[in-house]
Structure formats: C-alpha cells, structure tokens
Amino acid sequence: MAIEHNEAAASSFAETAFSQFPPLPQDSHVSSPTKRLVLDSLKLDAPTIEDLDHILHLGWALVLASHTDSDQVLFGTAHHGRATDHGDQAIMPFRFKVQPDASVEESMTAVAGYQRELSKFEHLGLDKYSTKGLDYVVLCQFRNLLVVTGEQQPIPAPSYTQRYPLTVSCAYQNSHSVQIYVDFDPVILQPDMIRIMLTQFTDILTASIADPRAQIRGIQGIGAQGWKQLLEWNRAGQSADPVKIRGDHQIEERLKKTPNAKAVCTSDGTLTYEQLDHWASQIAQQLVDMGVKPGKFVGIVTPKSVVATVGMVAAMKAGGAFVLLPPSFPTFRLQTMCQKTPVHVILSNSTTLALARELGLPVVGIHDDIQKGASAGLGNNFDPIPTEPHHPLYAIFTSGSTGEPKGALVSRGSYGSGIRGFCSRTGLGENTRVFQASPYAFVISIIEQLNALAVGACICIPSEYQLQNDFESTMANLNVSFGFLTPSLARTLNPRKITSLEILLLTGEPVKDEDVKKWMGHVTLYSLYGLSELSGSVLIKDLTGLPSSNQGLGYITNGACWIVDPDDHTQLRPIGMEGELLIESSTMATGYINNMEQTAATFVEQPKWLQEIRPSDEPGRCLKTGDLVRYQNLTGEIQLLRRKGRQTKIRGQRVELGEVESALLVHFPTAKLVVVDVLTSAAEKKSNPSWWHSSMTLPSMKSQKPQRLKRTRLLHRRARRATAELRKVLPSYMIPSSILPIRFIPRTVTGKISRKDMIESASRLSLTEILKYNEDQVLYRGPSTPSEQILQSVCEKLLRLPAESVSLDDNFFYVGGDSLTARRFSSMARAQGLIFSVAQVFEEATLASLARSSLLSTAQAEPGPHAAVVPKEDPFATIRGEFVNNLPSFLEASDIEDVWPTGEVQRMFLGHNLIEQYPWKIEGQLDKHKLRQACQSFIDRFPVFRSIFVPFRGKILQVTLRHVKAPLIELQAPEGEDLMAWIDSYAKGPEETKPLADQPMLKFTLVQGGPQEYAFLLRLSHAQYDGGCFKQISEELTADFNNQGGPWHARSRYGEDTPVIHMGECSPATPPTGITVATAIKAAWSYVLAQKTGQSDVLFGQMGSCRGIDLPGAEDTLGMCLNTTPVRVRFEGIETVQGLFRAIQDQYIQSMEFNTIEWTDMLINSTNWPQDTQLDSVVLHENIPNIPGLEFPGGIQGRIGTPVFTTPAYKSHMLLTWPGNQKLTIMLMGRQNVLDKDFAETLVKNFGTTLVKFLDSPNVLLSSLEPMF
C-alpha cells in the first residue's frame, strides 16, 4: 500500500472525486473559527511518539472518510513550530486513500511513507507548493487542518489556523497521552457535530493502538464510546407504554365510559359516543350476518363523511378488519386492493354505491345523514366479537416496486401500545377536536381517527367540497383545535383565520423555514414522521420555540431508532455517520399481504447486538425504513437526508418509481427502457414545485448524452393515450406530468442508469418546453366568453404560461396544473367573479367546459372570503360628493367614473413631478393599427391610467375618467440620427417632463427611424405605479399587444429646489440566515446616523410596498402602493451587529400590520410633534425584477433601452439602494442647497463600508468598530 509523491500521483488524485469537509454555506464564505472545544487528556500508550503521530493522521483520515462517505480524503497537516524558508509555519496537504481491507499496521506504514515525502517540500510553503501545477492547486484547497504539537497545555489558536473553518490540534509530550482541542467556525459546524467527530476520533485511536492488526473496516464501525452513547439514547427500547392495552379495546371502553361526550362532528350535526356505539353496532350485526369474522376484511368506500368512522368501528366490533378504498382511485386499482386483501364485503355511502358495486363484491349501503345516524340502532345490545392479538385490524396500501400496490397488515395486538406515547407528546385528549382532513389513502387518516376515539376526543369531519373550496372557514366553523396537514397545504392557509386551532402537526413532506415562521405564535407546532408499516409509533418533533433551521425528526413515541449500514443492517454506523434508519417497536405491522419476499426484506430479525441488550426467548423484529438518516446532535435526534433506492414522496404520498415505470412500459412496447423521476426546471426552481417526469428510450444512436426526439403527432397521441390509460390504474398523484422520448439513457461505468445526468438534462428545459411534448397539435382556441377570458387569464398568471399555450380546449392538468394549484386556480377565479369548485376542475374535460359549468357572479352575488374587511359605508362618499358639486371648468360630471383621495407618498411624487419614461427598440414590420388598438385596450382596462390628479380644498384628489383616448403619438426621427440616442434626448425635453393639470400623464410615443426600425416610449407618473408592479405592467402591455390586455396613468407639479444625486457602490456578503438585505441596509444607515449625530437613539423613514395587506387581490394591485413608515433604533443595550439586525427586523415584523398608516396620521395621533415635522432621511431598497422586454403585434420583440427618470429634490434625504450583479448601487438623493457635496459623498462611502463590515462579521461587537467621524 505504498504511496508515492510525484506528478502522476498528484494528477491522479486531483482527478479523483473527493468531498471537501466541511461544506461551506457559500463559496464566498470567509472562515471565522471563533469557537473551541477541548477534550480531556486521552490515554493511548502508543509505542513511540512517531507511532502516535502516524496514528493521529490515520485516525483523522478515517473520521473524514466517514463524514464525507468517500475513501478519498484531503486535509492539511502542520507540525507546530516547523518553518518554511520564509519563516512561516509549514503546512502541507495530506491526501489519503482508505483501504478498508488493509490492517492498521499497513495503513500506518503508508502514512509514514507519505509524511516522509511531504517533508521534502515543507520548506517551500503552501503557496509555492501550489504553483507546481494545477493539480497541486487542487490539493491545497483543503478546508480542515490537523496540527500536532509538543506543547503540554492547549495553546491559543495560532494565526495560521484562522483561514480554516476547522482545525484539530493534538498536544503531546510523550507517547502515552494526548490532549485534543478543536477550533471551528460555528456558522458552519455545530458544537454537537464536533463532539460527535471527537467521539469517533477517540474510539478509532483507542482501537488502533489496542489491535494494530485489526482491519480498517472494523475500527471504522461503532466504537466503545459511541456504543455507550447509543445505549443511553435507546435504553427505553419498546417500553414506552408498559400497559400495552390494545387499541380496539381502548376504543370499546371509551364508547361506554363517556356516552354523552361528542365523538363525531360535521357541518350537519354531531354524534355522541353512545350514538356512535349504537350506529356501529347496528352495522356490525349486519356484517356478522354476512359472514364477517376475525381475519375477514371489510372494504370502506366513501368520500369524506361520518360513514368512514362508523364503518371502521363497525368492522372492529364484528371482529373483522377494515381497508379504506378511496373513491378517487381508479376502479382497477381498487379491485386489485380488494383481491390482495381479500375483501369479504364492502361498506359504502349513497354517493359511491355505483363504484362499490363495480368492485364485484357484496355491498352494504350506509346513509351519511348524521341526524338519522344519531338515532340508529337504539336499544341494540350487540357485544363485540372476541378476537386475538394476531388477528388483523386494518390494511393500508402504498406504492409497490413490482408494479402493483403493496398492503401493510396491522394486527390488533400491535395497534394500541403507541397511543399513550403519541397523546402525551402531542396533547391529544378528551377535550380535543381533531380535524379529519387527511386523504383515506394516507395512513394518518386512520391514526387521527382511531387515536382520537381511544382517548375520547371529537373527530371533526369536513365534506369533500369543504376541503377543496372552503378549507379555512370549515376549520373555523367546526372549532377544530388539533390537525394533521402537509406543509404544502398549510402554506395556503392563514393562521389568523383559524383561531381555534391550538395544535398543528406537519407531516408527509419536509418542513421548511417558512412553515415554522408562519405558524409560530399561533399554534403549538410539531413535525411528524411516520410509516404505514408502524401502526402507532411515529417520530415527533416539537418545533415551538426552536430555530427554523433545526431539521431533526424528533424522537419516537414507542420503540427505539438505530442507524445501520444501508447494505448490511447487522452493522451499526458510528454516531454522526449516514446510514439507514432501523426501527424496533411493538407497534410494527405483521408484514405485507401475500408478499413474503418484500416482507422478509423489510421486516428483519433483531441483529445480534440488539438481542444481546434485549434478551428474549423469541427475538423481536425490526423495520428497515429505506430512509437514509444520521444523528443530528448528542441528544439522539435523527435528521432525514433522503430516500434509499427508488422511492420518493409526491404530495405527501410514498411512491415507488418502479411501479409507475412498470405501468408506463405497458403502453410503450417499442421502448427499450422507461425511467421515471422527479425534477425541477432550473428556470422555475425558485417559484414552481417539482413535477413528475418520465423518459422512454426508443432505438438507440451512438451518443453518450440524452437526446430528445423531435415532437411528432404520433408521439403526442401515444403520450396522451398512455396518460389516459395510467389514470385507469394509478392514483392521480402517481401520474407523470410529462413524458419525454429520448434516444439514449446515460449509464455509469458500472452499467447503472445515471439518473443524475438524465435529471440535469431534463432540468435545462422550461416547464413550457416539457409540456409541449404532451400536447396534441390542435388548433389554438382563444376565449369567446367572459368566463373563458377569466379562466385563460388565471391560467397564464398561475402557471406562468404564455397566452398561446392556454387553449380553451385544453385540460387544466395538461397545461401544468396539479391538485394544489387547482385550489389556487379556483380561488383566483373566484376573486374575479367566476365561481366553481375544485372538484369541477378535476371533472371537466376542458377549460371551455369548466367555463360553461361555472357561475359568473355579480359583485353582489357572492362576497369573497375577505368581505368582512370591506367597510359597510363608503368612507370617501362625502369628499366625492363635494368634488362633483364643485367641478373645475375642464370637467363634466358625466366624465367622472370615481374620485379618491391620494396617499401621502403619491402627493410627494406629484409635488416633485416624478415622471419616468421607458423606451423599447423594435426591429421588424410593425402593425401600427394593432398597436394603437392595444394601447387603447391597455388604458381601458386599468382605471389608474385614466386618472388625473386635481387640487381641491387643500388636498389632491385622484379623479378617474370614464373614457380616455389612447395618447399615442407618432414621430419620425431625423435622418442619420441614432434612434435610441434621439429618443433619449426627446424624453428629457421640457414637453415630455412638464406636469399636466387636466389630462392623464400616461403617454405612448412611437418613433420611426429606418424602414423597419422603431422606438416605443412609455411615459408614466410615479404617482401611478411603483417598482413592485412594473413587471405586471409590461406583462399586461405585452398581453394587449397580442390581443389580451394592459394599464396606467397620473399628473404632477414642478419642484422648486435643484436635485442632486451622489452615487456609490459596494459588494456586501449575503446576510445571515433569517435576516433580509433591507434589514442590513437599515442597520448600516442607522449606525452611520448614530456616528454622525452622536446620538444613541435615531429616527429615519423606510419606504416600502403595502401590497402585503390582507385584502383580496392586494398582491396583484397595479398602481402606486408605496408608503413611508418610521424606523427608530435605540442602540442602548445592543452589543453586536447581529443584535442590531435582529432588533430592526423584529421592529419591522411588529409594524407590518400598520404599514398603510401614513406619516402625517402618525404625527397627529401618536406624537405631540408639529404636524409639519419631516423625517430627515428615508431609505428605499429597490429589490425589484429587471425591466422586461415587450412583445409587439406580430410577435416582434422590443428590447428595453435606457429609462429616463426624473430626479426629484426630496425634502427628506433619500437613500436608494439597488442590487446588481454582485454589486449594490447606492444613491443618496437630496437638494443642492441642503446637502453639502463632500459631506454627502462621505455619507455614501461610510454607509457602503459599514454595510460590508456588518455582513462580513455579523457577530462583531459594535463597540469594537472604529469611529467614522
């Protein structure tokens, strides 16, 4: 195992893939190792100091190999005190390839040989050594350093270690003991992770010296200290519930114990536990009469209703087991589930009777009238049929890798012992009202009902219609206090509208930062990790009060968790290492129905090490979850990393990709291979969720890259046919969103499919490009009715598709919709007056048929969910009436559509005559007639651009006119002039910048240069719009230019002072997690003001958008929505930059609900200051999208030129910041006679410097910063 140091070796290593440790949050991160951990003196008794040195290097290499999951490791090595030719500390890169089958002795020999070679180059120093070639540059990019020193006591961290986020120093004076201390960057590495690494490091060192002949593979496993820690975490094992009362017995006892307590509640009525007992007993008797007994299954087919709960209890009473059969599933899949179980008889409510009869089994119909149910079975004395613990209780089906669903069988004996632990951890009790929203395909739908009944809680059951169309209101009306939701669904809800909700469990999907922040302070929030194979045991994490970045799964309610080698479950993984989650629990399922092979692979016997600590005559079983995890900290909490194998989650549902591939392959018999995976387009990654994607290979070419086939009518038809056929056999969430035919599927060197290459290739496509492969080449049909216009408009905005991609003969799901966006689709259409349910979106074949089945309401027909926030009386009726009775000479009452008072920021912009003009260059044949029509449509659709601003009794009113002729003028540029230069000069002329008193400020100008060369100029007043809606303006203009829609308008007065702008720029780092750029900017500005004024209490303004207010359609408002609110910073008590960030951001969050209150109103109502008090400075961070191009009639693209802005002479100094490409532009705007040039430039410079300092070192003490003035 000799290692040679030469050019070839270095080159070979540089080409080898190895993972850097630790990973950086971003490439530009500057290391700041401010934390230190010290390990008590470790007794080792190595033969010699040289051997100890070699063992330390070998041990650290093995630790890194484990944490990077690679046999190639790289770190720096330094013997403290050794110097280079220039007197610097000698540091060299140490690379090592782990040989698992080699012995410790052989590996130490290799280490010694490598160190001898390195010593020949130490005198060069790291910088010179890296110049020997590109490969050496790669070698010198290590991020962690091992330092050995002869110092007896820990020395302060040497300066040469500060550039590395992790330094491990080992101090020894002899070969018998060593002291280890670690300096690390807390931004990258948590103290618990360092302790975990030290535990493994010491275990490896101890084992290596104890047995030099041991294989490396052996000492890389769990060590003595690690094993001790695992035993401490898992000592409880399966004893979480010592009573172990069966769940069915607990429910039966509760039916008798609290007869008058509410058991079920719907919008139509309630059932007490006694009434539920009688109704279920009546059905149970029918089931027994039909032959149901222990071991026999009852299928339950029903939409959301009380029938499901009654049926489950009835099946248990009859001694049988139940299986929920979701009516949304294809009939073929339901038949397969019935055959596999097998189902003996089916219970169905009236709406699903026809479907139930198609399954070919005896059917018992149950009405879902809860009022009748309350009186059903009165006087019935049915006694539950006796059962044994091994008898089945229920089956739950999940996706299967063999092409068919697999059913997990849960016995009566296994369900129950986890109930007590679950309830004590989550607060579920007899006074709880549980919202039963989970789909019946999801195991949570069983847990939330059975657990609730076992403890005497009330199950609140919504209807399917309420779930799809009135989720929030239904929760509120049913007064629910406890709920299970997927994070993606929870994100669509407003916590303030569900005030009864006290406990929320997020399950089925990863929890994001935004989820924790959204619900914090409103509910007690938990995350829940569970499996269908575990009947009552789940991992629960209390998220209340924790940082949102804490991503652990929590702790199991019943049993123990172990992390094992993914390829060998008998081998434990060291603490901190990635492995497969292995669960032991008394709540485990019996196995998979009629699938012995899968059962044996998933439900395994206890490994020997587990049998030794839990001795028993009959060793138990463990569940291999298929999830790759690791211990996150030293409390035993587990972090989920990813799925093992071919399984994934789609909308909270577990999906075996192999099942979808098998089903799809049937419909493409000529395809050599079908691959299904989940991808996210790079173009839509930030705004759109992932979508299903499948690829099929047709006869191959000689290529090593996935090559898409040309779209053809045949491929379209086959894809459509395949999708239609899949809907007959698979649930909707398992249907791929797209089918891409390709020539070649890339493979790895071992012959496996390279899914990474395939996903990267497909991800380069936009969503629109992907969907085109599934579209039939049919003629586009535009909207012909108001309802169709609304549907197309909503589809464009919601799915971010161009108009020509949304034909009214398309299906919503074919153009990119899914079940979640369907809810938003219904909501957005309702806001525009078109009412339909989410169910209709699924049922109607085309958008046109959906439009026909929808209700187009008037404003009075059906107020939206936000109607309560609209004032009952018009607050502007008085001023409107006075104005109409005292009109200026240039207006007639018949001209006026509406009258509004202007806002404070609007008046400021009008006072400074803030006019802005945007030019686009056009090259091509332009249809001027269509352009004029489009401009008229644009101004007709948006009242804000038909407005003028009229002084009236000391105020300025915004008067919207009923009709304004599109102000489009045509000009000819002088021959030989540069067109864009000429229009820039024109836009700056006095005619284009003067204020208008009696007509809208919106103006379109078309200037022609050459035969097919034009410039289009849009003039706007800033009183009509702000940067937050400019993207919408451009989209609406483009829509109108292409026969769809667009708007704007305003007026101004000249300012008197000469305005000046002082420019600057800086390159700040990314703010710390949880802090916005705007917060950092306000912090830096407040610090500059405090330094200049010598005051510890400073006040300035911030200008921001009001589109976040809770009003329907507020976020899409097209107009001027800016307002100025005060920022007050008291530096007393704030010690660090981070503390300043947090104080300012907390103040902003608290003030958000008041951000529409104007500064003047605050002065009058909240201060005793003079009413003309002005904020001395105002900050505005313009974090808005780039100005887009326009598409003109005929599909001609217009490229944006240089905008022409009016420079206002604000009374307040305006600090404007604008993010660019890795730069932040700074503009300090003010009046020439007020703002001294030298002082202003100093302010800009100091602001930029402060911002960079703050973001480079957010943990620095404010008192340590040098004074500025």
Note the CATH number of domain 786-862: 1.10.1200.10
Query: Which has the minimum average pLDDT: 13-17, 284-288, 847-851, 1099-1103?
Result: 13-17
Instruction: Pick 652 or 1 by higher pLDDT.
Output: 652
- Cα–Cα dist 418/450, whole Å: 12
Query: Where in the chain are all domains bearing CATH 3.30.559.30?
Result: 7-220, 1059-1264
* 100-120: average pLDDT: 90
With contact defined as beta carbons under 8 Å apart, do 384 and 317 qualify? yes
Which H/E stretch holds residue 970? strand 968-972
* 338-352: average pLDDT: 92
pLDDT band at 1195 (very low <50, low <70, confident <90, very high): low
Residue 1080 has pLDDT above 80, yes or no: yes
Which H/E stretch holds residue 1229? strand 1224-1231
In CATH terms, 559-643 corresponds, of 2.40.40.20, 2.30.38.10, 1.10.1200.10, 2.40.50.110, to 2.30.38.10
pLDDT band at 709 (very low <50, low <70, confident <90, very high): low
If you search the block for the tokens 């197309």, which residue do you land on? 792
The 3-state DSSP class for residue 1226 equals strand
- SS percent in the chain: helix, strand, coil, step 5: 35, 25, 40
pLDDT band at 133 (very low <50, low <70, confident <90, very high): low
Instruction: Pick 303 or 69 by higher pLDDT.
Output: 303
Residue 412 has pLDDT above 90, yes or no: yes
In CATH terms, 1059-1264 corresponds, of 3.40.640.10, 3.30.1280.10, 3.40.50.300, 3.30.559.30, to 3.30.559.30
* 866-879: average pLDDT: 56
Query: Which has the minimum average pLDDT: 51-55, 802-806, 1095-1099?
Result: 802-806
Instruction: Pick 1051 or 795 by higher pLDDT.
Output: 795
Residues 6 or more apart whose CB falls under 8 angstroms from that of 485 comprise 437, 493, 504, 505, 506, 507
* 37-60: average pLDDT: 89
- Cα–Cα dist 935/1044, whole Å: 11
Query: Where in the chain are all domains bearing CATH 3.30.300.30?
Result: 648-769
Residue 45: per-residue pLDDT: 83
Give the strand pairing for 144-149 and 568-572.
Answer: unpaired
Beta-carbon count within 10 A of 485 CB? 26
pLDDT band at 301 (very low <50, low <70, confident <90, very high): very high
Residue 1049: per-residue pLDDT: 25
Class of domain 7-220: alpha beta
Class of domain 877-1041: alpha beta
Range 96-129 burial, b when 16+ CB lie within 10 A, else e? bbbeeebbbebbbbbbbebbeebeebbebbbeeb
Residue 57: per-residue pLDDT: 94
Residue 1185: per-residue pLDDT: 52
pLDDT band at 311 (very low <50, low <70, confident <90, very high): very high
- Which pTM does this prediction carry? 0.58
Distance of CA 919 to the CA centre of its chain: 37
Residue 567 has pLDDT above 50, yes or no: yes
pLDDT band at 1119 (very low <50, low <70, confident <90, very high): low
pLDDT > 70 fraction of the chain, expressed in percent and rounded:
79
Phi/psi for 342 (5° steps) reads: -85, 155
Query: Where in the chain are all domains bearing CATH 3.40.50.12780?
Result: 247-542
Residue 688: per-residue pLDDT: 36
Which tokens hold the place of 980? 């864009």
247-542: which CATH architecture? 3-Layer(aba) Sandwich (3.40)
pLDDT band at 4 (very low <50, low <70, confident <90, very high): very low
Range 1053-1077 burial, b when 16+ CB lie within 10 A, else e? eebeeebbebebebebbebbeebeb
Residue 775 has pLDDT above 60, yes or no: no
Residue 546: per-residue pLDDT: 63
Residue 816: per-residue pLDDT: 67
Residue 85: per-residue pLDDT: 87
Residue 287 has pLDDT above 60, yes or no: yes
Residue 1051: per-residue pLDDT: 23
Residue 147: per-residue pLDDT: 93
Q: Determine the residue type at 744.
A: F
Long-range CB contacts for residues 1258-1266, cutoff 8 Å, separation at least 24? 1258/1071, 1258/1072, 1258/1075, 1258/1136, 1258/1137, 1258/1138, 1258/1141, 1259/32, 1259/34, 1259/1136, 1259/1137, 1259/1138, 1260/1136, 1260/1137, 1261/1135, 1261/1136, 1262/1087, 1262/1131, 1262/1134, 1262/1135, 1262/1136, 1262/1137, 1262/1140, 1263/1135
Is the torsion defined by CA of 498, 798, 852, 810 positive or negative?
negative
Residue 684 has pLDDT above 50, yes or no: no
Q: Determine the residue type at 1138.
A: Q
The 3-state DSSP class for residue 268 equals coil
Residue 5: per-residue pLDDT: 37
Instruction: Pick 674 or 1013 by higher pLDDT.
Output: 1013
Query: Which has the minimum average pLDDT: 27-41, 142-156, 700-714?
Result: 700-714
With contact defined as beta carbons under 8 Å apart, do 44 and 175 qualify? yes
pLDDT band at 167 (very low <50, low <70, confident <90, very high): very high
Residue 1069: per-residue pLDDT: 77
- Cα–Cα dist 3/72, whole Å: 13
Per-residue pLDDT reduced to its tens digit, 1162-1181: 877 777 777 777 788 889 88
Residue 940 has pLDDT above 90, yes or no: no
Instruction: Pick 966 or 1201 by higher pLDDT.
Output: 966
- Cα–Cα dist 59/202, whole Å: 8
pLDDT band at 154 (very low <50, low <70, confident <90, very high): low
Residue 236 has pLDDT above 60, yes or no: no
* 161-168: average pLDDT: 92
- Cα–Cα dist 406/656, whole Å: 10
pLDDT band at 459 (very low <50, low <70, confident <90, very high): very high
* 506-521: average pLDDT: 86
Specify burial of residue 1047 (Cβ count, 10 A radius: 0-12, 13-18, 19+).
buried
Query: Which has the minimum average pLDDT: 97-101, 913-917, 993-997?
Result: 993-997
Instruction: Pick 1109 or 770 by higher pLDDT.
Output: 770
* 316-334: average pLDDT: 92
Residue 8: per-residue pLDDT: 40
Residue 316 has pLDDT above 90, yes or no: yes
Per-residue pLDDT reduced to its tens digit, 514-537: 888 889 889 999 999 989 898 878
DSSP assignment of 1-40 equals -----SHHHHHHHHHS----SSPPSSTTPPP---EEEEEE
* Range list of β-strands (E), 557-617: 560-565, 568-572, 579-584, 591-592, 603-605
Residue 1000: per-residue pLDDT: 82
Residues 6 or more apart whose CB falls under 8 angstroms from that of 59 comprise 201, 204, 205, 208
Residue 634: per-residue pLDDT: 80
Note the CATH number of domain 648-769: 3.30.300.30
Radius of gyration of the chain (CA): 35
**Average pLDDT in the chain:** 80
- Among 622, 632, 549, which Cα is nearest to 591's? 622
- Among 916, 1191, 919, 1182, which Cα is nearest to 1046's? 1191
pLDDT band at 506 (very low <50, low <70, confident <90, very high): very high
Which tokens hold the place of 701? 């070419």
Widest CA span of the chain, in angstroms?
Answer: 106
User: Alpha helix (H) ranges present in 832-900?
Assistant: 838-843, 847-853, 877-885
With contact defined as beta carbons under 8 Å apart, do 587 and 537 qualify? yes
pLDDT > 90 fraction of the chain, expressed in percent and rounded:
24
With contact defined as beta carbons under 8 Å apart, do 982 and 1005 qualify? no
Query: Which has the minimum average pLDDT: 368-372, 645-649, 822-826, 1045-1049?
Result: 1045-1049
Per-residue pLDDT reduced to its tens digit, 33-47: 999 998 878 888 888
* 954-970: average pLDDT: 84
Report the range out of 187-201, 660-674, 1117-1131 with the highest average pLDDT: 187-201
* 673-686: average pLDDT: 58
